[in-house]
Amino acid sequence: MVKIFGSTNCLYCLKCKQLCQAMEIDCEFLDVTDREAAQNLKDLLPETEIDSIPQVFWKDKHIGGYRELTIYIDDYISKTKEK
């Protein structure tokens, strides 16, 4: 459900991963120091949009970074509670 492009040296990248794990949301962490992961990110976004990490995708839609992920998770929790 969530793809996180980041680095293990980045605090907010790790916070994204930990947040998903804590909320039991499936996530895939792709370390951009790996050439293949970096190329995957470049294929998904124009380079002009890649100015920082993490870069987070929610259901294959680019949403931004850590702050945006917290907003999406809050919304996701609200919707699941309504059901």
pLDDT in tens, 24-82: 999 999 999 999 999 999 999 877 677 899 999 999 999 999 999 999 999 988 887 77
Residue 77 maps to which CATH number? Answer: 3.40.30.10
- Domain coverage including residue 59: 2-82
Total domain count, the chain:
1
Question: Which residues of 1-83 form beta strands (DSSP E)?
Answer: 2-6, 27-31, 55-58, 61-64
SS3 26: coil
Mean pLDDT, residues 7-25 taken together: 96
pLDDT confidence of residue 51:
83
